[in-house]
A and B are shown apart, each in its own frame.
Chain A
């Protein structure tokens, strides 16, 4: 078993891509993801944008091993996630818009539980947990049950859970939904620091300013297909208009709908 504290980026054999998706497809009542190809490089902050129902969440749920694809391949740091889901999951963390925590556990107990699921060595997990709680301003609440926590605090506990096993790839689905400015800033700082330390972050968001400011590359999904991808400058070029990411995004999505 890999040592979960061993970050792939620290080793000589750094995988060229944190995530490689090829021909990924999933149909519910209609195609949600339509033979999607997507590559996210190691150590980059990647924002996945798209209108409602574009297939962002379905794509990321398939990557995280929560939804089985109908077709295609997924490789996480070179590991085939469909052939060896356990090895792939060991390198990933999933944070959804609805914090996945237990009301009756304290943040410390929650981190203990998550560290157990990812088989983190005890001393390291204890140290990391204390650091994360401190970093996220949760230390005064470390031994209180989560049931009375605000949405922002719950999301921070969930984020601490995602980081406690030091994943190479963090996938976040709308992590800033419903957070106040202070909590949102803390979450963004944590993610930024993560990327600076060599980790990879993939995030969906409807808050385009966040994507504009934080993401190195941006992918735009519509109808389950990647209609554009690149840096903000590249997207501006592609859309044929300058301005904010919002302008670019609306132009690209509008073109896609008209096509």
Chain B
């Protein structure tokens, strides 16, 4: 098209075209995430995903099938349980949505291009707010699909309402995330908001579930959220079945008038958010652009004594320094540490009681230890910011790997030590099982990270799973296997050996699938 012809059409891009553009970018993002950048793999990746989702319907049916006959006018206990499920789901969605909104504000990407065009920032951000919310709604529907399909299969089409309720939860989370992030921006300013919002996003997702477990432990001594929901004391304090508090639960359970109110409220909230916050997001984005080139503080540190350590010590020290100084990375690993709070409370509450209680603590410790080691190993091995510097140094690759493994193991030991010591004080044999199990679990996940190393930026930590699905599944499976082995060993049964065998088999299988190193 000639410039003259272009000038005959002065109207800026329509919101619909902007929306279509945003959706296309999101689709390409999804394709990239599914295929780790190799687009030809997409059909295969989708076929595998479809197969996995199909298989997931079986356990979903086993889990929720018995609830399929719950009526549209259920008792307060059911409504309370359903409300807890909605709140839990909403907290997870809010966590994800906040992460997305923070990215929208701070990652320059195409913002410079679009903001330098005649499109008003208000229009752009209104469309982005709606797009993010729609994507959250789609994600909310997709994640819950196996369970809802199972309910439809067992209880009839009225459970289709659950899809609409989930989608509404996604829209509400998308809108709420914008409000929270803009609020933080006004309160803390552009520099601090970035970190605080990312940390909050990481913590919010886990905090609600853990809060419920903590409540259950403190009140009833058990870790189950169901115990908490079904307790007589709790039922006594619940409002009547007609209370507005149960509206989301009723919508989820298929009550059409309640569903209509929830869907309407979600759309209304989103429209209001877009109208109120889009102009502010434009302003805030411009403010954020002033700090965009730097990923954090440009602050002066206290002068320190210059100390040169050995190569191994220098590498270990560097890994710990980098980890300590990155609040975002700390928050990402913190979510796993949060899951240690319930077992810690369980330990405190059951002080002096039977050691059998601590089997669950042993299992959680071993599982968290493995997952934590895997995450830290990714940072140390694949997330090395200056790989060529380290490889050009006169240090053997074996020594570099050893130092990095020591750094990871040291960090895991430091983080888990307080609970390990507490367990040792109460049940020494259980502690021994926990220490051995955690060591094996951590060593296994570190090995997997070494076999599947793929150089990447540390900022891609959250997307590390996309480089290898095999490594991701193997890490989870192997740490659960070691957790089961340690738990069974703590319970004093020889079945622990079977679980050890499973863990070793997984490791052998993963090793055979690992890509061969092709270069120095």
Contact = CB atoms under 8 A, between A and B. Distances in A.
Interface string A55-68: 00000000011111
B392 A105 contact: no
Interface of B is mostly: loop
Nearest to A148: B298
Interface string A66-86: 111000000000000000001
Contacts of A90: 394
B309 to A, nearest CB: 5
Contacts of B311: 116-119
Contacts of B11: none
29 contacts: A64-B392, A66-B520, A67-B519, A86-B394, A89-B392, A89-B394, A94-B388, A94-B389, A100-B386, A100-B387, A102-B318, A103-B295, A104-B296, A108-B303, A109-B321, A113-B318, A114-B393, A115-B314, A116-B308, A116-B310, A117-B314, A117-B389, A117-B394, A119-B310, A143-B301, A143-B303, A144-B299, A147-B297, A148-B298
Nearest to A126: B306
B307 A68 contact: no
B75 interface: no
A114 B389 CA distance: 8
Interface in B284-305: 293-304
Contact of B297 (A96, A108, A115, A145): A145
A145 B391 contact: no
B325 A116 contact: no
A9 to B, nearest CB: 19
Contacts of A65: 391-392, 520
A32 interface: no
A104 B326 contact: yes
Interface in A101-136: 101-106, 108-109, 112-122, 125-126, 129
Contacts of B301: 106, 143-145
Nearest to A111: B306
A102 B323 CA distance: 12
A234 B293 CA distance: 46
A28 B300 CA distance: 45
Given A86-B395, A87-B394, A102-B318, A116 B389 contact: no
A115 B392 contact: no
**Most chain B CB atoms below 10 A, which of A102, A113, A120:** A113
A1 to B, nearest CB: 9
A147 B392 contact: no
A182 B275 CA distance: 48
A118 B520 CA distance: 19
**Most chain B CB atoms below 10 A, which of A67, A122, A145:** A145
B192 to A, nearest CB: 15
A122 B313 CA distance: 14
A138 interface: no
**Most chain A CB atoms below 10 A, which of B296, B302, B325, B393:** B393
A224 interface: no
B389 A66 contact: no
Nearest to A89: B394
Contacts of B299: 144-145
A202 to B, nearest CB: 14
Contacts of A118: 311, 393-394
B107 to A, nearest CB: 16
Contacts of B385: 100-103
A102 B322 contact: yes
A122 B307 contact: yes
Given A94-B392, A119-B310, 7 more contacts: A67-B519, A92-B392, A103-B296, A104-B326, A105-B321, A109-B304, A109-B321
